[in-house]
Amino acid sequence: MERLRVTGGASLRGSVHVAGAKNSSLKLMAATLLSEGRSTLHDVPTITDVDYMGELLRRLGADVVRTNGTVVIDVPDKIAHEAPYELVRRLRASICVLGPLVARCGAADVALPGGDAIGSRGLDMHIAGLERLGAHVEVQHGYVVARAPKGLRGAMIGLDFPSVGATENILMAAVLAEGETVLDNVAREPEIVDICQMLVDMGAKIEGAGTSTLHVQGVERLKPSEHTTVPDRIVAGTWAVAALMTRGDITVANARHTHLELVLEKLMAAGAVVETLAEGGFRVAMSGRPRAIDVVTLPYPGFPTDLQPMVVALNALADGTAMITENVYEARFMFVNELARLGADVRIDGHHAVVRGRESLSGAPVVATDIRAGAGLVLAGLVAEGETLVSAVHHIDRGYPDFVGQLTQLGADVSREPDPDRFED
Ligand code: UD1
């Protein structure tokens, strides 16, 4: 186990390049299972979650070769249909092989991912959607067991909530179902548009990507694809908040400002100067103390829940009091106890957090409870007086490629070291 030693005080300045999105890459990798043959994915981030997904695809019979940002996946004609617990528990997103496996093999045994530090994260909509497509689905011995020996049939499906994972799983099953599927109240995240684009390139017939309704005309087979992953808007947003908190000036290259409209608007309301760049990407600069900003998390195009820990950290030292409302994950405020160790004044009431800005925070040992909480704590450490030790850094490695390298390049005083107090669980 390792930890980060963050010494507060530096103002981050310079340029960072954002790689492809974690939340897209993992699903694009799963989508390659839908066709026999060699698919190539570019701009895949160098993060451990991608390693885990690669391992899972290998277990299913694919050959996966990764060279820097490019992943080449060779999928054989016959693939296995069991995603075992020891792999799924390490990567909750491995549930996204469920749809492709049922569509391709007529059978899937995918371990239930189990508990998670940010909430219960149910699978009811994934399961109901696959059942509407004609699969028989049961939970047995800790596995989602889905069977469709005669193949899937298109159907009208309405989601109770625009779940990202359920949209992806049902979509990936529907592209090979017989006939038309109308999928209503779907997620509209840029990562959904990205996967739709890849599926269309593979030969799928999908209309409505980026809207609330997807029309899918099933096809008999798909072909492999070469695809470049959409840039990671959450990593880009993290850099934007870092610029603001440290009163710095960061150019975020390869980011798409159109995917962060609401976030950048909020940061401007806090006092940042935001400039979109002709060559792509944007620049965020800040002088003086940020003003408090209220934030309500919602499915895209609402404010992303994945940036909620960063705005709580930002408000912890802003001028004024902010109300943060978390509508996506019930337990996502858990990390606030760690932030309080740095001196933050945050009161939680259900899914609301009231953050009273302090003039300063003070460094302390804290524990990253998940990827985004980890990034939020590092940002807080950058502006806290003295040293902050962020342990369980493996969470951050799941989602931020070369975080320490990029922070250092921007002038932060951050280093990685063995954590004598913690052991791998
Ligand atoms: C994805 C992202 C995650 C992001 C989230 C919301 C990946 C790997 N992860 O997660 O980073 O925070 O979208 O933008 O892409 N729900 C149910 N039943 C279901 C499905 C979901 O109750 O069948 C609930 C979940 O418990 C959660 C909410 O819906 O409270 C949102 O979940 P969902 O949109 O599915 O998020 P994920 O796909 O898990």
Could you please report the per-residue DSSP string of 74-137? Answer: EE-SS---EE-HHHHTT-GGGGGGHHHHHHHHSEEEEE-----TT-----HHHHHHHHHTT-EE
Nearest-angstrom CA–CA distance, 220 and 154: 12
Is domain 22-228 classified as CATH 3.65.10.10? yes
Instruction: State residue 298 phi and psi, 5-degree precision.
Output: -155, 160
Can you tell me the mean pLDDT for 291-295?
Answer: 98
- Ligand 1 atom 13: the closest Cα is on which residue? 164
Of all residues in the chain, the percent with pLDDT exceeding 90 is 92
- 249-286 pLDDT tens trace: 999 999 999 999 999 999 999 999 999 999 899 999 99
Specify the DSSP element, H or E, that contains 206. Answer: strand 205-207
How many Cα atoms sit within 13 Å of 110 on the Cβ side?
Answer: 29
In the numeric block, the tokens 């529907």 are attached to: 174
3-class SS at 255?
coil
- Reported confidence tier of residue 331, pLDDT bands at 50, 70, 90: confident
Q: Specify the pLDDT at position 122.
A: 84
Q: Specify the pLDDT at position 424.
A: 52
- Tell me how far the alpha carbon of residue 23 is from its chain's centroid: 4
Q: Specify the pLDDT at position 2.
A: 95
Can you tell me the mean pLDDT for 83-102?
Answer: 94
Is 306 considered catalytic here? no
Q: Specify the pLDDT at position 425.
A: 47
Above 70 in pLDDT, residue 235?
yes
How many Cα atoms sit within 13 Å of 302 on the Cβ side?
Answer: 14
49 in Cβ contact with 60 (< 8 Å)? no
By most ligand atoms within 8 Å of CB, the mutation choice from 121, 139, 159, 233 for ligand 1 is 121
By most ligand atoms within 8 Å of CB, the mutation choice from 263, 328, 332, 398 for ligand 1 is 328
Q: What are the C-alpha distances in Å from 189 to residues 155, 231, 234, 258, 367?
A: 23, 12, 12, 12, 29
pTM of the full predicted structure? Answer: 0.97
The matching CATH number, chosen from 3.30.420.40, 3.65.10.10, 3.40.630.30, 1.10.150.20, for 2-18+231-418 is: 3.65.10.10
Ligand 1 lining (C-beta closer than 6 Å): 23, 26, 93, 119-126, 161, 163-166, 305-306, 328-329
**Closest alpha carbon to 102 in 125, 127, 72:** 127
Q: Specify the pLDDT at position 282.
A: 98
Each domain of the chain, given as residue ranges in start order, spans 2-18+231-418, 22-228
- Ligand 1 atom 25: the closest Cα is on which residue? 121
Q: Specify the pLDDT at position 121.
A: 66
**Closest alpha carbon to 406 in 372, 379, 366, 380:** 379
In the numeric block, the tokens 């209503």 are attached to: 184
Considering the candidates 63, 116, 124, 160, report the single residue annotated as catalytic.
Answer: 116
Q: Specify the pLDDT at position 311.
A: 98
- 371-415 pLDDT tens trace: 999 999 999 999 999 999 999 999 999 999 999 999 999 999 999
Atom of ligand 1 lying closest to residue 124 CA:
23
* CA Rg value for the chain: 21
